[in-house]
Amino acid sequence: MRVVRNLFLLLATCVAPTLASAQTYPSKTDPRSTLKSGRFDAGVAASNMRLVSFSKKPAQFDSARGLTFVNSDLAFGTHYAYQANFAGFTIWDITDPAKPVVASVVRCITSQGDPSIVGNLLFISAEGAGNRVDCGDGGVQDPKDHFAGVRIFDVTNPKAPKLVKNVQTCKGSHTHTVVPSPKDPNIVYIYVSGQQAARPETELAGCRNGTDPADPTNSMYQLDIIKVALDQPERAAVIPGARIFTGLDGGGECKQFCAPVDPRRAAAGRGRGGAPAPSNAAVAATAAVEGPVSTGPRNCHDVTAYPSLGLLAASCSTHSIVVDISNPEKPVRLDALTDTNNFQGRHTAAFSNDGKKLIQTDEWGGGTGPMCQASSMIELGGNTIIALDAKKKQSQKAYFKLPSAQSAEENCVSHNGGIIPVPGRDLYVQGWYQGGVDVMDFTDENNAFEIAYFDRGSIDPPAAVDVPIPPSAVEAGGGRGRGTIGGSWGAYYWNGYIYSSELDRGLDVYELTPSAQLSANEIAAAKLVVFTQYNPQSQPRITWPAAFVVVRSYLDQLVRGNGLAPDRTGAISAALDAAEMKSGAARAAALNAIARQVDGDVKSARDGARVRTMAGEIRRLAAASK
């Protein structure tokens, strides 16, 4: 989340498409468009997924005072979910997803608090002026008490986490990403995305603002990197950063589907990103002292690593950047893509499991604005699918935005998510704040579409025309008036269930249900994928054990997509049923016979590639049956 507060709540209702060719939203007859409001009694609409459990936010964080106590992101380890909050974090025991239990709540003012878990170490991001070294409330009176960077907690005992290290960084840490060493399992690197300017050198030695991306003494144009020995976290330290911005130009002026310029911001000298725009005289003065001023990116909002492929996808405002991290201490930029059409600010990335596609999300409005209204531009605030060629060069493909019209009371835009491990398909579940949780199929890079969702009505009721909210109503609502920021910060598939961090309400757990767009076999195959640890911005490689449901997943996909003639899919299904009734060598022989028959289907099939993959899965199952 970019902290762009209530200004966007005021502006978004007048945002309208600027081109006749702009896409339009579906009819307001979508069930999500007419839901009753309410904090805990809001109306619900769901398709192809069900709510397994809802757990209210712990009392220690049960306040909606601005963004001070909102929940943020999630990380997962063994049977625990680590839910961050702008004022600390909660550790949930999710042994039974239907009944999550609070293991501990830690109050620690941390401003966003992006989390990652590695073994028994929990890493928490901190950015901003109000974070203290001692985690305390009350703000910072003495600069020596200020903390901005990454906190490290020992959570060996989840009921009693211990702060073991505050790693200070020059720009703080809005988000961070774990990159494991490919050579030493005891070493991890924390790639830090800091959004603020460099701190004064009087506060933290070595910090320096500047305008030259190639200047190694300039703290601005780099991702900070922290090196951590897992057996000695107290010795974690910042090492030379990732200078992936050198030589990049700016994104250029927007050509189409551009966010309208707000006259109040323009009058205040602020651009779309909210930072004060320097005057021509200031730019000239800076250039005279420090050389030409770069117009390219200087930070990233988030970066997503795919360690098994040695790749990192960076979401850096105007740029989508692909980086080689095979040597995490010496990252190398491979490609940078700009887009002047759909993106006001690249926010978060994800890879397809085969590493041939990327998703880049766009948090238009910073996460606090209602950017999914019927009057909002559908070309902004969604997901762009990007294809990667063999050299990791990027090309922009499909675009997807939540296909429902949300209300003016609901902050809504594309936000965080992760891959659902269905074999043969690329599925992405994500949070859209008060737009709810959505599942997108991007298997076809040119045609992304929705297959499931869960949504609640707005937290706040619609305002009566010209009727102010009385103070008594605000008091009755626990200090909540209009403009409550809520909804799903991020939604992730973890060992059979989808977990969503609800900013205002608490923690949701969902389960996918069979439908015409997702079969029971596909859901069962996804549940075969079990991890002991999951940090969504450090993406794991997904593999499936040999299993009948994996083979049948491909068969279901061929039936759904008419990829193979019905007489053949029916015959293959019957043969698989018969083979499953056998065991040992007899099962293996039957499966190998099926595989040979399926080989003969490849040439005549509409989807020969999927038929070939299914034949391979049948052979793998035969080998496991001997």
- Residue 346 has a pLDDT of 84
507/91 Cα distance (integer angstroms): 11
Q: Considering just the CA atoms, what is the radius of gyration of the chain in Å?
A: 25
- Enumerate residue ranges in the chain where pLDDT < 50: 3-23, 262-287, 472-481
Structure confidence by residue, pLDDT tens digits, 42-101: 999 999 999 999 999 999 998 766 668 999 999 999 999 999 999 999 999 999 999 999
- Residue 65 has a pLDDT of 64
- Residue 168 has a pLDDT of 97
137/344 Cα distance (integer angstroms): 34
Q: What angle is formed at CA 179 by the lines to CA 210 and CA 503, rounded to 5 degrees? A: 80
- Residue 164 has a pLDDT of 98
Residue by residue, DSSP assigns 67-97 as: TTT-EEEEEEETTEEEEEETTEEEEEE-SST
What is the enclosing helix (H) or strand (E) of 508?
A: strand 506-512
User: CB–CB of 116/98 below 8 Å?
Assistant: no
CATH number for the domain running over 7-534: 2.130.10.10
- Residue 222 has a pLDDT of 94
User: Within a 10 A sphere around the Cβ of 583, how many other Cβ atoms?
Assistant: 10
Pull the structure tokens for residue 487. Answer: 């909804």
Give the residue among 333, 329, 98, 315 at the shortest CA–CA distance from 228: 329
CA–CA distance from 235 to each of 124, 226, 504, 625 (Å)?
A: 16, 10, 36, 49
223/242 Cα distance (integer angstroms): 5
CA–CA distance from 115 to each of 151, 284, 525 (Å)?
A: 10, 40, 28
229 forms beta bridges with 187
26/374 Cα distance (integer angstroms): 8
Contact residues for 427 (Cβ-Cβ < 8 A; gap 6+): 419, 420, 439, 440, 441, 442, 443, 451
Structure confidence by residue, pLDDT tens digits, 446-481: 999 999 999 999 999 997 755 555 554 444 333 434
- Residue 219 has a pLDDT of 93
Q: What are phi and psi of 418, to 5 degrees?
A: -160, 175
Helix (H, G, I), strand (E, B) or coil at 552: helix
Give the residue among 353, 347, 321 at the shortest CA–CA distance from 539: 353
> What's the pTM?
0.90
- Residue 469 has a pLDDT of 53
What is the enclosing helix (H) or strand (E) of 471?
A: helix 471-476
- Residue 14 has a pLDDT of 35
The domain limits of the chain are 7-534, 548-625
Side chain identity, residue 327: N
User: CB–CB of 101/91 below 8 Å?
Assistant: no
CA torsion, points 168, 173, 178, 179, in degrees to nearest 10? -80
User: CB–CB of 154/233 below 8 Å?
Assistant: yes
